[in-house]
Chains A and B, each alone.
Chain A
Amino acid sequence: MSNLEQDIPTKRVLAAPLRSFVLILLFVGGLAAFFTSDFSPFAQSSTQLTASDGYQYIADVDLWHRTNRETEVNAVSQFDLTHDLNDVPMEIGDWRGENHPETNVEVMILLDPEQYVQRLYWNSQGQHMWLTMIGGRSSQPFHPPDICYDVDGWNYNLSSVPIELDGGGRIYGMWMEAQKQLPEYDTPTDHIVFYFYLFPERTRQYQDGIVLFKLTSARYGDLDNTLAVHTDFLRNFFTEAATGTP
């Protein structure tokens, strides 16, 4: 028997456990990949929200372009056009609201929104917050709020700010500090605006309905303090955002 023939059984003996090890490794790896993938029905990624947490929407700072601020958020109420935006709670947390329907007919003709809800909320400290929700299924009802302020002669600065939510994650919105000297007042009037867009689906199709969620308040002390008031208001409506987003 040649050396070669003697070696073959030895090699086979060594190769069998190695093959088994590789196969088991592949098996475990395959299972791990399957159960942790987004396609797995058992996937429970920490970056995804579950239906039991509330109502899920996609929030973004821009309507036209998907930005890296896009995130999935949980809401305590339904902010989509298959539901009446008037059902959004009038009393929530420390805030009590009242409806202030838009009386400017030109606005309604120009925007032609499917839904338009405008409310004034007050908290126990006497601070107020305007909530405007505009819903539509075309581009017509939507334009950046700063465009109107610009046309109306307000001076403004624009940036974006994140608001941390109680359940984790954050919502980014555009943040506008607008000021104008109105003739009826001795000092300039400040408007602080925070807004973002809500989509029912990640595909962001107009026909699914889009809602502009806009907060407007006076300036309460400095801008940090004003942001804290906006944060307090917003956290009542939105509880959690997907983590892992910027």
Chain B
Amino acid sequence: MPLQSTLRAHFTPHFTRHAPRQLTARRQTRATWRNLALWSIVLSACWGLAACSSAPATPTVNVPETIVLENTPGGTCGIAQTAGITGIGEMDDEAQIRALIAAEGQFVVAREIGPLMALWAEDSQIINAKNTPDDQRDDQIWRGTDAIRHRYLNVVFPSAPETVTAVTLQLTLEGDRAHGQGTTQIGGEVSPNGDLWELERVDDCWYLVRLTYNLEPLQAGNAQDASTQDEAQPQATF
């Protein structure tokens, strides 16, 4: 049944059923205004529906939508839903933090940017220590969630590993802050004690606030390899 007929069928009996048999002129005027009011509402609704149906379709080919998780709790409070980790509420702080770091690896492997970004606090950072932990002048920093998202999408995902595993992680908790240094195996690559995770608890949820990686000092052989690699890089300037 067309929408207009459906609406008419719905509203018209209501008026006839309750209309008195003899209307005064005043009552007739009132009834007319009442009809006008209801039809205005009906027409407004029809206008809205028509506009909705003719709205441009959400692009699916060119622009993958960032998954919006505004209504989903972030950090450890969200991974029960996003990473399928059950019983997170019953875990102690250390277990929650380990689950959060494991979820980061899980989302990198799956290239799921929405749930991945929900693990990070707004003012978080990722730092590449470039294997010189005692020299911060050469550190490369991605500040804020825009830069972190950019790094995942443009640097990490194009060569995302098939596995990410925290081999060791020594955690230290200090109130609402925590940090843990450890070894992560990314695909076949192992960085001994090369990752430092820093976390913060906000509203009972733990969030990642900083990751410093490549903290393991380069061995002499590796340094030579890196140097050779640098020289071989093309001198692109665009």
Would you call the interface of chain A mostly helix, strand, loop, or mixed?
mixed
A228 lies within 8 A of chain B by Cβ = no
Task: Other than A27-B40, A174-B146, give 17 A-B pairs with Cβ distance below 8 A.
Answer: A26-B41, A30-B44, A34-B48, A39-B50, A40-B47, A61-B146, A69-B146, A148-B236, A148-B238, A151-B233, A151-B236, A152-B237, A155-B138, A157-B142, A159-B147, A160-B144, A205-B61
| Chain A residues numbered 192-232 whose CB sits less than 8 Å from any CB in chain B | 201-206
A166 to chain B, nearest CB (A): 23
Residues on the A chain within 8 Å of B186, using CB? none
Which 6 pairs between the two chains have the least Cβ-Cβ distance?
Answer: A27-B37, A39-B51, A160-B146, A30-B41, A159-B143, A34-B44
B236 adjacent to A155 (CB under 8 Å): no
Whether the pair B147, A174 counts as a contact (CB closer than 8 A) is yes
Question: Which residues of chain B come closer than 8 Å to A204, judged between CB atoms?
Answer: 59, 62-63
Interface size on A, residues (CB 8 A): 48
A81 CB to nearest chain B CB (Å): 15
Considering only CB atoms and an 8 Å cut-off, how many residues of chain B contact the other chain? 46
Name the A residues within 8 Å of B37 (CB-CB). 23-24, 26-27, 30
Asked if residues B138 and A172 are in contact (CB atoms below 8 Å), the reply is no
| CB-CB nearest in chain A for B151 | A158
**A33: contacting residue among B44, B64, B150, CB under 8 A:** B44
Measured between beta carbons, the chain B residues less than 8 angstroms from A65 are 63-66, 113, 149, 153
Q: A27-B37, A39-B47, A203-B59 are in contact. Are A159 and B142 (CB under 8 A)?
A: yes
A102 adjacent to chain B (CB < 8 Å): yes
Instruction: State which residues 25-73 of B face A: CB under 8 Å.
Output: 30, 34, 36-38, 40-41, 44-45, 47-48, 50-52, 56-59, 61-66, 68
